[in-house]
């Protein structure tokens, strides 16, 4: 049995028999641009972005079958060719290497031993933290036998050096651009041009492979030409040039142009005495401006350890912003690995790991906001800046830019002719901003002014602004040509108000191009997203609550764009669908190209009641029209309408159809009554729950390729958006259940996913949460998933109940009895308002969740006053120390 297990306390994990599991990969990054992946065969790839891949791009099947990885060949006297990475024709047949892995923040180490050869090899891969785009692998070879071991080592890493697009598009022609040079202990390739979607441009990027030894030996042989290295009739797992006496004539200073490049560097034959070790470092370097060999030369074998320690120190400090101690130390370490994932997504976006082969870099709008949820908890210092800049992507019609650049606030005009609106996009910014406001208490943020994004697509992309051309830039202007700015609150209001009017024939918000579920993309005409209608209703209510708070602080009115008055009219009744459309069109017509730039003053009282009324009307409507009672045991919310205008859920062709998404937002928004909540839980258990995949599926099997709903129904059932256990929605389900006080149900969702993922034989992933679990139980699309943010949010905000209440610390734990350790303690170290705190809940009587409440709170052993609110307590943050506060919370009988 393979087992992936944590080493005691230090957050590294180990895996034995690693070669018996396929599709594993581990992310490596320098914290900035370099992004690579590596597995126990040193396969994977390395890139800075879509157009700068140093290694051949790798997707899931390539992890086992691609030969363009990192190789360290040893031509062993008395044996022949042996690859320290394991990728050799002979080793594949012999299968007599023993392979284990250890990984930590943020390195991957493979240990390969061979009993017959009495050889033990450690291969440690990492990237030094910082702006150098360098990945290092130290290969340490130990002769474990009683006899001397003689071998000739050769590093071979093919240098792809171009855009991922060229994998199928001009793969050979782009090789003609290659200009490789042999330098001391390295091969550098600087293609003359780059061919990609930007056109044919002079290329300035240099790609290099370097190799060095612990005795600083000069390389003896160079193999820059891939064809020659492989040899006629050979292959990268059996390179003919190494088979007999290596023979190469390349010298330092030689050029090799117009062929595929190999980072091939050979050293002189070496002999290891019994038990002796020898180390080599091979590096892959990408430089956009610095002299590449100078950069690479710093990374000697001696420097490797120093850089490794520095990198470890950096990540260890970074990861210290969140840790928990419960009754299950494996769970605690698992959470730590999940908390790495939002950071990885900030760096990798939704692309660049082997499963994420659709991505071209960057992130989607929704991901931009959701990733901030966890960053708010773990990297709060930059979040206000990020949030503020993200709002620049909002358009004056309430939609948003969909092409997002790599820098905060960088949004790009969509030039392609398939403009699309995801109707959920307007809902997420408030959700994230609310969390920020609750914790920070910085309500002034709502009144900072920010611009709007502008491109030619207007009226929810239904038409184009004829007066717009790209030379005008991407900032919304007023009629005098000045850049128009409105408050963040105005942006938020706009995003939520337009949706209120944008309804379909059943008076739910139109699905448009899709909602959260990207796969629901074929119901643009008549599709409706009932579930996101509930989400927007929740937002409207929460915004009105925040405005009520501001009113209590003395605010009496706000200013918004004059034209927005149209959206704040009270004249349209909720059921008047036509009236809603007319209102929306009236607004759209006012803002098609420019805006007036004038501001209207809106009385807060009126605004609060308008928003409340809107929210309540939606709430009543959903309860009356979308609750489906299938039979005495089965009842749940309909989540969608298809493109024929039919309900997606309920009994269809004698078969009950249900989605999880349909339930999550009515629950989260408190639209579901407590009785309905019970029904939803029971129905979800009956129709969606499957222990084999670690929890609740996204939908049950519709047995139909529903062309009137979306591409997801083309996926086989149980895969990805068609009925997999999709972690992101499962996490939001858990969150909604926590909100509803269904603590046991919520906790078990988190725990089941954790248990499934840590059951390595089934999940076959390194620790963490994957995007989904496939029908065989395997974790898919590991690391880069929004579910990690929601997992962390659930742990911090709900399980440990470390929340904000208008800037005050709100503690409301949902810890269950079994989550306390034997001494009745459970603690969390986290950041609160950018200050470090450790909060220890003490439940010496081991009371169950329903039976305890907070009795006293001590900050650094001193009791502090608190107020009971909403089953928790509120404490003034002025009691917090600037650097660190140790908080003890005593729980006792209610
Ligand atoms: C992915 C996308 C997310 C989308 C979801 C469902 O989820 O990133 O934006 O809403 O699929 O289509 P993730 O990989 O973040 O779990």
pLDDT in tens, 679-697: 999 999 999 999 999 999 9
Which ligand 1 atom is the nearest neighbour of the CA of 786?
15
Give per-residue pLDDT as tens, 130-175: 999 999 999 999 999 999 999 999 999 999 999 999 998 899 999 9
- Asked, for residue 307, whether it belongs to a domain, the answer is yes
- Asked, for residue 296, whether it belongs to a domain, the answer is yes
Mean pLDDT of the chain: 95
Burial of 716 (0-12, 13-18, 19+ CB in 10 A): exposed
Tokens standing for 120?
Answer: 């033990």
- Residue 1 is predicted with a pLDDT of 59
Residue 351 Cβ inside 6 Å of ligand 1? The answer reads no
- Asked, for residue 146, whether it belongs to a domain, the answer is yes
CA 402 to ligand 1 centroid distance, Å: 15
| Domain that residue 813 falls in | 800-893
Q: Are 30 and 131 in contact (CB under 8 A)?
A: yes
CA 564 to ligand 1 centroid distance, Å: 32
Residue 370 Cβ inside 6 Å of ligand 1? The answer reads no
- Asked, for residue 181, whether it belongs to a domain, the answer is yes
Residue 355 Cβ inside 6 Å of ligand 1? The answer reads no
Residue 771 Cβ inside 6 Å of ligand 1? The answer reads yes
Which ligand 1 atom is the nearest neighbour of the CA of 364?
9
Domain finish residue from 319, 334, 361: 319
CA 743 to ligand 1 centroid distance, Å: 25
Q: Which of 728, 765, 787 has the most ligand 1 atoms within 8 A of CB, as the residue to mutate?
A: 728
- Asked, for residue 286, whether it belongs to a domain, the answer is yes
Residue 512 Cβ inside 6 Å of ligand 1? The answer reads no
Mean pLDDT (whole number) for 63-76: 97
- Residue 198 is predicted with a pLDDT of 77
Which ligand 1 atom is the nearest neighbour of the CA of 518?
12
Which ligand 1 atom is the nearest neighbour of the CA of 514?
12
pTM: 0.97
Residue 515 Cβ inside 6 Å of ligand 1? The answer reads no
Position 415 confidence tier, pLDDT thresholds 50, 70, 90: low
Domain finish residue from 298, 319, 340: 319
- Residue 295 is predicted with a pLDDT of 86
Which ligand 1 atom is the nearest neighbour of the CA of 519?
12
Q: What gap in Å lies between CA 198 and CA 177, rounded to an integer?
A: 16
CATH number, domain with residue 99: 2.70.98.40
Q: Which of 420, 771, 788 has the most ligand 1 atoms within 8 A of CB, as the residue to mutate?
A: 771
CA 786 to ligand 1 centroid distance, Å: 6
Whether residue 417 is predicted with pLDDT greater than 80 in this model: the reply is: no
- Residue 441 is predicted with a pLDDT of 94
State how many domains the chain has: 2
- Asked, for residue 711, whether it belongs to a domain, the answer is no
- Residue 416 is predicted with a pLDDT of 62
Q: What gap in Å lies between CA 529 and CA 535, rounded to an integer?
A: 10
Q: Are 723 and 751 in contact (CB under 8 A)?
A: no
Q: With H, G, I as helix, E, B as strand and everything else as coil, classify residue 466.
A: coil
Residue 563 Cβ inside 6 Å of ligand 1? The answer reads no
CA 785 to ligand 1 centroid distance, Å: 7
Residue 357 Cβ inside 6 Å of ligand 1? The answer reads no
Give per-residue pLDDT as tens, 372-397: 998 888 888 888 999 999 999 999 99
Mean pLDDT (whole number) for 586-604: 97
Whether residue 413 is predicted with pLDDT greater than 80 in this model: the reply is: no
Q: What gap in Å lies between CA 466 and CA 232, rounded to an integer?
A: 60
- Asked, for residue 560, whether it belongs to a domain, the answer is no
Whether residue 289 is predicted with pLDDT greater than 90 in this model: the reply is: no
Q: With H, G, I as helix, E, B as strand and everything else as coil, classify residue 621.
A: helix
- Asked, for residue 849, whether it belongs to a domain, the answer is yes
Beta strands in 7-130 (DSSP E): 13-15, 26-29, 35-38, 46-49, 52-53, 71-76, 80-83, 97-104, 107-114, 119-126
Residue 424 Cβ inside 6 Å of ligand 1? The answer reads no
Residue 532 Cβ inside 6 Å of ligand 1? The answer reads no
CA 425 to ligand 1 centroid distance, Å: 12
Which ligand 1 atom is the nearest neighbour of the CA of 726?
16
Write the DSSP string, 634-647.
-EEE--EE-TTS-B
Mean pLDDT (whole number) for 730-759: 98
CA 317 to ligand 1 centroid distance, Å: 29
CA 519 to ligand 1 centroid distance, Å: 10
CATH number, domain with residue 834: 2.60.420.10
| 529, containing H or E segment | strand 528-529
**Share of residues in the chain with pLDDT > 70 (%):** 99
Give per-residue pLDDT as tens, 850-889: 999 999 999 999 999 999 998 899 999 999 999 999 999 9
């Amino acid at each position: 049995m393979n087992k992936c297990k944590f080493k005691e306390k230090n957050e590294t994990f180990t895996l034995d028999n690693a070669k018996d599991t396929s599709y594993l990969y581990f992310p490596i990054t320098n914290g900035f641009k370099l992004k690579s992946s590596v597995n126990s065969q040193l396969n994977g790839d390395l890139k800075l972005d879509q157009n700068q891949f140093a290694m051949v791009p790798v997707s899931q099947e390539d992890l086992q079958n691609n030969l363009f990885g990192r190789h360290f060949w040893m031509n062993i006297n008395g044996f022949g060719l042996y690859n320290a990475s394991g990728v050799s024709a002979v080793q594949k047949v012999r299968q007599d290497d023993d392979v284990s892995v250890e990984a930590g923040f943020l390195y991957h180490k493979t240990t390969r031993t061979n009993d017959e050869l009495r050889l033990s090899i450690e291969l440690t891969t990492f990237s030094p933290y910082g702006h150098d785009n360098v990945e290092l692998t130290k290969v340490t070879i130990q002769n474990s036998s009683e006899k001397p071991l003689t071998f000739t080592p050769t590093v071979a890493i093919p240098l792809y050096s171009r855009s991922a697009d060229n994998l199928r598009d001009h793969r050979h022609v782009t090789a003609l651009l290659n200009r490789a040079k042999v330098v001391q202990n390295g091969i550098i390739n600087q293609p003359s041009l780059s061919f990609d979607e930007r056109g044919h441009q002079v290329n300035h990027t240099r790609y290099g492979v370097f190799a060095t030894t612990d005795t600083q030996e000069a390389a003896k042989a160079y193999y820059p030409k891939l064809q020659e290295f492989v040899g006629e009739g050979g292959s990268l797992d059996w390179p003919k040039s190494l088979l007999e006496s290596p023979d190469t004539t390349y010298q330092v200073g030689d050029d090799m142009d117009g062929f595929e490049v190999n980072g091939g560097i050979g050293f002189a034959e070496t002999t290891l005495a019994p038990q002796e070790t020898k180390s080599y470092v091979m590096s892959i370097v990408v430089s956009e401006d610095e002299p590449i060999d100078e950069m690479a030369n710093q990374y000697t074998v001696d420097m490797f350890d120093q850089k490794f320690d520095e990198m470890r120190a950096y990540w260890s400090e970074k990861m210290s912003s969140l840790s928990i101690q419960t009754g299950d130390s494996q769970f605690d370490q698992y959470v730590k690995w999940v908390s790495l994932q939002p950071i990885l997504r900030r760096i990798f976006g939704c692309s660049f790991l082997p499963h994420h082969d659709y991505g071209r870099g960057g992130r989607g709008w929704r991901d931009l906001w959701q990733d901030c949820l966890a960053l708010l908890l773990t990297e709060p210092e930059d979040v206000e800046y990020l949030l503020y800049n993200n709002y620049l992507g909002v358009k004056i019609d309430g939609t948003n830019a969909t092409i997002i650049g790599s820098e905060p606030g960088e949004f790009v005009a969509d030039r392609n002719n398939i403009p699309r609106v995801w109707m959920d996009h307007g809902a997420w910014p408030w959700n994230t901003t609310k969390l920020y406001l609750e914790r920070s208490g910085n309500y002034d943020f709502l009144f900072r002014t920010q611009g709007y994004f502008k491109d030619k697509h207007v009226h929810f992309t239904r038409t184009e602004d004829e007066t717009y051309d790209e030379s005008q830039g991407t900032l919304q202007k007023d009629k005098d040509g000045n850049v128009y700015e409105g408050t963040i609150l105005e942006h938020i209001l706009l995003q939520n108000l337009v949706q209120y009017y944008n309804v379909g024939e059943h008076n739910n918000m139109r699905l448009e191009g899709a909602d959260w579920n990207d796969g629901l993309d074929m119901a643009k005409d008549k599709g409706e997203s009932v579930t996101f209608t509930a989400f927007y209703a929740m937002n409207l209510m929460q915004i009105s609550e925040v405005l009520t708070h501001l009113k209590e602080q003395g605010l009496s009115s706000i200013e918004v764009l004059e034209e927005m008055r149209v959206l704040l009219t009270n004249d349209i009744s909720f059921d008047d669908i036509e009236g809603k459309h007319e209102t929306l069109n009236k607004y759209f017509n006012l803002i098609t190209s420019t805006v007036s730039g004038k501001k209207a003053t809106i009385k807060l009282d009126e605004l609060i009641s308008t928003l409340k009324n809107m929210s309540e009307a939606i709430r009543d409507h959903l309860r009356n029209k979308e609750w489906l009672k299938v039979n005495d045991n089965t009842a749940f919310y309909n989540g969608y309408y298809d493109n024929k205008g039919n309900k997606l859920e309920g009994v269809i062709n004698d078969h009950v159809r249900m989605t999880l998404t349909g339930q999550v937002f009515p629950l989260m928004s408190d639209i579901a009554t407590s009785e309905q909540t019970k029904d939803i839980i029971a129905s979800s258990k009956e129709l969606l729950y499957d222990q084999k995949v670690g929890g609740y599926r996204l939908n049950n099997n519709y047995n139909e390729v529903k062309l009137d709903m979306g591409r997801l129904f083309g996926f086989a059932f149980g895969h990805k958006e068609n009925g997999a256990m999709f972690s992101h929605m499962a996490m939001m389900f858990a969150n909604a259940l926590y909100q509803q006080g269904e603590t046991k149900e919520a906790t078990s969702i988190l725990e089941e996913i954790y248990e499934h993922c840590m059951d390595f034989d089934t999940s076959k992933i390194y620790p963490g949460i994957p995007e989904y679990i496939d029908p065989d139980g395997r974790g898919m699309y590991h690391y880069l998933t929004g579910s990690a943010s929601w997992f962390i949010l659930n742990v911090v905000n709900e399980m440990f109940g470390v929340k904000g209440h208008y800037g005050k610390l709100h503690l409301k734990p949902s810890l269950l009895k079994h989550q306390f350790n034997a001494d009745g303690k459970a603690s969390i170290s986290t950041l609160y308002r950018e200050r470090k705190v450790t909060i220890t809940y003490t439940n010496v009587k081991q009371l169950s969740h329903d039976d305890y409440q907070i009795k006293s709170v001590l900050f650094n052993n001193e009791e502090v006053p608190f107020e009971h609110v909403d089953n928790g307590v509120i404490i003034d943050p002025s009691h917090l120390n600037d650097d660190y506060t140790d908080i003890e919370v005593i729980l006792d009988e209610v």
